Amino acid sequence: MRLAKYLADAGIASRRRAEDIIRQKRVKVNGLTAELPQAEVEESDHVTVDGKKVGGSEKKVYFLLNKPPGYISTAVDTHDRPTVIDLLKKVKERVYPVGRLDADTSGALILTNDGKLAYRLTHPRYGIKKTYRAWVKGIPGKKILDKMAKGLLIENWKTAPAEIKLIDRDKKRNLAMLQIVLTEGRKRQVKKMCSAAGYPVIQLQRINFAGLTVDELAVGSYRVLKADEKRRLYDMVGLKQ
């Protein structure tokens, strides 16, 4: 099995993120630093990440966090900033965030040690829906919203079609709240879309990820996913439990 896949299956990170971790020389196989994500490993090999052993019979766990602003969506931060893992101190298993939210973005974030599920939930092939609410500077009209929904050219790529609507406005402060549903998840996509249209984001929250909402979850709190929620996630990405 390839090392990157081994790490993903063990719940360390998505396969793409696992490749980055390997290139950062944080992984050792049988005491030797690994450098290639495609290196072959066996179940009997001793694999560590940051000095901690990977593998074993650790049970799979799944959590939904209502991420507050000010937290980094990684397991470890080299600049010693607070991470989302700091909010799950009572969780004994080693979990990782599924995808990322910017430090100043709040809302729905899944954390798990199920690498296969995490990988598919973040892969564009599966078109997992993510719903955001963004306060933006300025009040866009219907033509602008339609243009954003059809797709915008940002840098060297065009955004996929999205669902966008105006749900609130503050005329005195010249602000508007947009609800944006995406099926792709490029880095800082909502912010880039709004800026490209001329309406920079002031505040951003993800209210729904893969059908999971944080409506009844206090900011900074988390909960265990229910059995039917896990089953729906597996069905969405074509996995069997």
pLDDT at residue number 116: 83
C-alpha 237 chain-centroid distance: 15
Parallel, antiparallel or unpaired: strands 130-137 and 153-154: unpaired
Q: What is the pTM of this model?
A: 0.81
Q: How far apart are CA 154 and CA 61, in angstroms?
A: 37
Using the predicted structure, report yes or no on whether residue 57 has a pLDDT greater than 60.
no
Helices (H), the chain: 3-9, 15-23, 115-122, 142-150, 189-197, 227-236
- Assess whether 102 carries a catalytic annotation: yes
- In sign, the C-alpha dihedral spanning 152, 99, 206, 235 is positive
Q: Which domains does the chain have, with CATH numbers?
A: 3-53 (3.10.290.10), 62-125+213-236 (3.30.70.580), 129-209 (3.30.70.1560)
Tens-digit pLDDT profile for residues 109-166:
999 988 889 889 998 899 999 999 999 999 999 999 999 999 999 988 899 999 999 9
Mean pLDDT, rounded, for 225-240: 96
Instruction: Find the radius of gyration of the CA atoms of the chain.
Output: 19
Task: Confirm if 4 and 37 have CB atoms less than 8 A apart.
Answer: yes
Catalytic residue among 9, 45, 77, 102: 102
Tens-digit pLDDT profile for residues 28-47:
999 999 999 999 988 678 89
Q: How far apart are CA 121 and CA 210, in angstroms?
A: 8
How is 61-94 classified by DSSP, letter by letter? -EEEEEEPTT-BSSS--TT---BGGGGGTT--S-
